Chain A
């Protein structure tokens, strides 16, 4: 840490009050991504994800890494697991969050997330987890549990200074921070402490470098997590469209836009990923023009209605929620993706070598076309979806 750097920071911080209020920069970044799901639902430790993303060390720059894991809290699986970060160990913020949660939820467990103090990470904040059940009152009884949780999470993130919710889904959690992936994994002891059936990992290369742990990936709302590589050139358009639906992009990252777009389309509007893919990464007009009439009408309508959610520019994302994980790129594949299968395991990654590092003898390796999702679902969920589809028929 350079002394000169510290001085500058202090001076800048001090002078900021006098300055004209400026619109902040959006963050640009690029990264290494990795995700794995065991479609039989078998749970396993974090080692696979850690080693895989470590193999892509040069895709990050040590300024951020994170993991999401699903199925890790079976003993509390009916409760929302809130991972909350307190910047600078701000205990006032902690007290305020405690009070807020007590007023709005039934808390069945509240504890510090176990960490390894020996891990070489810089300035770790206090990170706490709460297992909670919504305690709705008055008007709010009309909200679904999920919507209620989203509302309360947004409240903590925007209203309580120095507090930030890492994740808020049931039976899952996000672990992230500033450092290389193996350092973050060591800090949270992911290898020994947790067993999940989906693991998603991210190694970050930001060109903006907010030195706070909340800026790392994955981004999470309820049990939906997104990790992302690339830069969205349509950010302004997407963001302003999402604002009309009550999503406010306070973190100034492309990933946030992605997460909200997916929440809007998949959770709230209940569209399947196969269709959502055609909204985020639609076919070119050249190709729509030569489709048969039925398809042409579908794709033309999708593009017309959801034009503001076309995600332009280079991107790859891996999205996960309970029962499902998928990876997808932009429509002309400006960012890489590779998928691999071994029995019930499905891997998605920025590089094949990362998958091979943890599973050398894959049954199949493939790279989907731009805009075509690779979807891994629990077999049980697959069955349920099929049944639902049959009911509709």
Chain B
């Protein structure tokens, strides 16, 4: 069938700079560039270009410029170019339009309408470079009271009588989001594990299992138990720091996953414990969880399977009744509740779902934190939030709204090279991140990737300390749920009310 699609990008090759080295041709897995020996010229097939910028970055002479194609359909506020292109794509294939990474539609980003406080006169700001500034965070269930036993009257010899629930310590309130080996290349996956281990935080295996040789990073791993149960055996569960039951994901609430058979290579099949080349289907629900008391059943099954030594997290997508659901999760026994918002990323999701289902994380977080406090059970769990965190200020604002820590996915990928071309689902990632093609994945060196990730964590942590210091706070726990340090700008009354913050000037 002759395709009616317009190219999305234009490749401008400045011929005076091009030295015909063919680096672009080798770099492009989408086969945009082609060298014609007879004419000694490079040609571009722009229809194939996804705008990942790999060729432009790697061109030794800077001869390439890739930018959005200027060709347009007639302007139409309703029938945008994107809608027309999707229609044509569906007419040509009869299928569900796929996409990768997070929702790119212009829903209001509340972080950009919330401003932070700083100390002036009445309370000194603190200089984080010279004075202590603590970001250490504990994830897990806390008791209401600590029962102590005093041996002798001098309070020197004190025993803790309360049986504590397991908690996990992280050195910065930033954790890498769930991204599976299978969605990610081995190299990218390993880089995340190495970086989490080096910085003292956690990475999340997603639901693709944890390769045996990487189990040494288990102390820094959140291992997922998702609907596909891939790679879930007792050893996998017991090697981890935290176990996470994945109910949903912000990019595709209510939707399962689907790693196509061609990506199930030998090492993936070994890790997921399924035959090579078969589709790895993650059902939409966990088939042993059709209700809240079933969730409780799986939470305790996992606690049983790990001798009550690990906190169990439950991850859901932020949906309409998120506060009520979160309350039920805590009552069902979850030690950590992870909430992934409307802008959460994905390796592959139906575009129609990604762009239309769920609610923004800011509102979800505010509602959940408030609800749990009203019910007097906020300290029974930690709250991890995810979904479109772009910078350290977003993290600070989230913690002030009530989060314990933040999951970052896309920022970590960008640190390793990702340019958000949204073609993760093709498996042809030129940056070696989201691919199982060894020719492509070799491009990402795990050591260098880890270095970049550690740098990112360090930079954000430093910035967080700067912001904390400015507010006169020197321990992250004093910011948690401290909505007094937030003000809204340009928000409606109902939005301020849901966020539980005042407007600026109030």
User: Is there an interface contact between B325 and A207, defined as CB atoms closer than 8 Å?
Assistant: yes
Interface flag for B292 (CB, 8 Å) = yes
Q: How far is the CB of A206 from chain B (nearest CB, A)?
A: 8
Q: In the bound complex, do residue A209 and residue B375 qualify as a contact, i.e. CB atoms below 8 Å apart?
A: yes
Q: Residue on A with the closest CB to B285?
A: A334
The verdict on A59 contacting chain B, using a C-beta distance below 8 Å, is yes
Question: A12 an interface residue at 8 Å Cβ cutoff?
Answer: yes
Inter-chain contact B375/A229, CB cutoff 8 Å: no
Q: Hey, which chain B residues are within 8 Å of A230, CB to CB?
A: 290-291
User: Assuming A28-B292, A335-B291, is B327 touching A207 (CB within 8 A)?
Assistant: yes
CB within 8 A of A32: which of B293, B321, B328? Answer: B293
Q: Once the chains bind, are A5 and B376 in contact (CB under 8 Å)?
A: yes
| Distance between Cα atoms of A207 and B376 in the complex (Å) | 14
Answer whether residue B82 sits at the interface, using C-beta atoms and an 8 A cutoff.
Answer: no
With A and B bound together, what is the CA distance between A206 and B321 in angstroms?
Answer: 13
Point out the residue from B290, B324, B373 that lies within 8 Å of A5, measured CB to CB.
B373
Q: Does A328 contact B (CB under 8 A)?
A: no
| Closest B residue by C-beta to A19 | B497
A4-B376 contact, Cβ under 8 Å, with A20-B494, A205-B328:
yes
**Contact residues in A for B144 (Cβ distance below 8 Å):** 2
Question: How far apart are A367's CB and chain B's nearest CB, in angstroms?
Answer: 15
B276-333: which have CB < 8 Å to A?
A: 290-294, 296-297, 300, 321, 323-325, 327-328, 331-332
- Using A28-B321, A208-B324, A230-B291 as known contacts, say yes or no to A9 and B296 having CB atoms under 8 A apart: no
The reply on A8 being an interface residue by CB < 8 A is yes
Q: Is A61's CB under 8 angstroms from B493's CB?
A: no
Interface residue from A1, A28, A32, A60 paired with B324 (Cβ < 8 Å): A28
A353 to B: closest C-beta gap in Å: 13
**Contact assessment for B290 and A205 in the assembled complex, using a CB-CB cutoff below 8 Å:** no
Answer whether A209 and B327 are a contact pair too, CB < 8 Å, given A5-B373, A58-B296. yes
Is B374's CB within 8 Å of the partner chain A? yes
Which residues of the other chain, A, contact B300 by a CB distance below 8 angstroms? 58
Separation of A1 and B374 alpha carbons in the complex (Å)? 11
Is A30's CB under 8 angstroms from B292's CB?
yes
Q: Please tell me which one of the listed residues B293, B331, B374, B493 contacts residue A12 in the complex, with CB atoms under 8 A apart.
A: B374
B374 touches A5 (CB 8 A): yes
Within A334-393, the residues touching B (CB, 8 Å) are 334-335
Interface residue? A226 (CB, 8 A): no
Residues of chain B within 8 A of A231, CB atoms compared? 291
Report whether B290 and A314 are in contact in the complex, using a CB–CB cutoff of 8 Å. yes
**Chain A 1-55 interface residues, beta-carbon cutoff 8 Å to B:** 1-2, 4-5, 8-9, 12, 19-20, 25-32
Contact between B324 and A30 (Cβ–Cβ < 8 Å)?
A: no
CB distance from A59 to the nearest CB of B (A): 5
The distance from the CB of B456 to the nearest CB of chain A, in whole angstroms, is 36
- Chain A residue numbers with a CB within 8 Å of B321 are 25-26, 28, 207
Are B374 and A205 neighbours in the complex by a CB distance under 8 Å?
Answer: no
Closest approach, in angstroms, between the C-beta of A5 and any C-beta of chain B?
A: 3
Cβ-closest chain B residue relative to A26: B321
Given A61-B331, A205-B331, A31:B293 Cβ within 8 A: yes
Q: Are B494 and A28 in contact (CB under 8 A)?
A: no
Q: How many A-B residue pairs have CB under 8 A?
A: 72
Residue of A nearest to B331 (CB): A61
Q: Which residues of A contact B290 (CB under 8 A)?
A: 230, 314, 334-335
A2, A4, A58, A208: the one within 8 Å of B293 (CB):
A58
What's the least CB distance linking A196 to chain B, in Å?
27
The residue in chain A whose Cβ has the minimal distance to the Cβ of B378 is A4
- Inter-subunit contact B294/A30 (CB<8 Å): yes
**Closest chain A residue to B493, Cβ basis:** A20
**Closest chain A residue to B325 by CB distance?**
A207
CB of A110, distance to nearest CB on chain B (Å)? 37
Q: Which of A141-183 contact B (CB under 8 A)?
A: none
Q: Is the CB of B324 within 8 A of A207?
A: yes
Q: Which chain B residues border A27 with CB–CB below 8 Å?
A: 324
Q: B327 — which chain A residues lie within 8 A by C-beta?
A: 207-209
Q: Tell me, rounded to whole Å, the shortest Cβ–Cβ distance linking A191 to chain B.
A: 26
**A60: chain B residues within 8 A (beta carbon):** 293
Nearest B-chain residue to A61, judged by Cβ: B331
Q: How far is the CB of A26 from chain B (nearest CB, A)?
A: 8
Distance to closest chain B CB from A111 (angstroms) = 36
Query: How far, in Å, is A271 (CB) from chain B's closest CB?
Result: 28
A29 touching B292 by the CB < 8 A rule? yes
What is the minimal beta-carbon distance from A48 to any residue of chain B, in angstroms?
A: 22
User: Shortest beta-carbon distance, A350 to chain B, in Å?
Assistant: 9
Q: Which residues of B contact A19 (CB under 8 A)?
A: 497
Contacts of B291 in A (CB 8 A): 30, 229-231, 314, 334-335
Complex CA gap A63/B330 in Å reads 14
Q: Which residues of B contact A2 (CB under 8 A)?
A: 144, 376
With a CB–CB cut-off of 8 A, which chain B residues contact A8? 373-374
A26 to B375, CA, bound (A): 17
A12 to B291, CA, bound (A): 30
**A28 adjacent to B328 (CB under 8 Å):** yes
* Minimum CB–CB distance for B359 against chain A, Å: 14
Contacts A5-B375, A9-B374; A207 near B331 (Cβ below 8 A): yes
Contact B325 A28 (CB under 8 A): yes
Complex contact A207–B373 (CB within 8 A): no
A30, B331: Cα distance in complex, Å? 12
A31 CA to B291 CA, complexed, in Å = 9
> Nearest Cβ distance between residue B284 and chain A, in whole angstroms?
12
Q: Look across to chain B and name the residue whose beta carbon is closest to the beta carbon of A330.
A: B290
Q: Is the CB of B373 within 8 A of A25?
A: no
Residues of chain B within 8 A (CB-CB) of A5 are: 373-376
Q: Cβ of B292: which chain A residues have Cβ within 8 Å of it?
A: 28-30, 205, 207
Which residues of B lie under 8 Å from residue A334 when comparing CB positions? Answer: 290-291
Q: How far is the CA of A20 from the CA of B496 in the complex (A)?
A: 12
A308-349 near B? 1/0 per residue, CB < 8 Å: 000000100000000000000000001100000000000000
A59→B494 contact, CB < 8 A: no
- List of A residues within 8 angstroms of B497 by Cβ: 19-20
Q: How far is the CA of A209 from the CA of B144 in the complex (A)?
A: 20
Rounded to whole angstroms, the CA-CA distance of A124 and B486 in the bound complex is 41
Interface residues of B in 354-379 (CB under 8 A from A): 373-376
Given the known inter-chain contacts A25-B321, A30-B292, A59-B293, please indicate yes or no for A207 contacting B374, CB distance below 8 A.
Answer: no
Cα distance, A58 to B299, chains bound together (Å): 12
> Once bound together, how far apart are the Cα atoms of A335 and B494, in whole Å?
37
A–B pairs, 27, beta carbons within 8 Å: A1-B376, A2-B144, A5-B373, A8-B373, A20-B493, A20-B497, A28-B321, A28-B324, A30-B291, A30-B292, A58-B296, A61-B331, A61-B332, A63-B331, A205-B331, A205-B332, A206-B328, A207-B292, A207-B325, A208-B324, A208-B327, A209-B327, A229-B291, A230-B290, A230-B291, A231-B291, A334-B290
Residues of B within 8 A of A (CB): 144, 290-294, 296-297, 300, 321, 323-325, 327-328, 331-332, 373-376, 493-494, 497
User: Lowest 8 A-B CB distances belong to which pairs?
Assistant: A207-B328, A5-B376, A30-B291, A2-B376, A30-B293, A30-B292, A334-B290, A207-B324
List A residues at the B interface (Cβ < 8 Å).
1-2, 4-5, 8-9, 12, 19-20, 25-32, 58-61, 63, 205-209, 229-231, 314, 334-335
Can you add 4 more A-B contacts, CB < 8 Å, to A20-B493, A229-B293? Answer: A12-B374, A20-B497, A205-B332, A207-B324
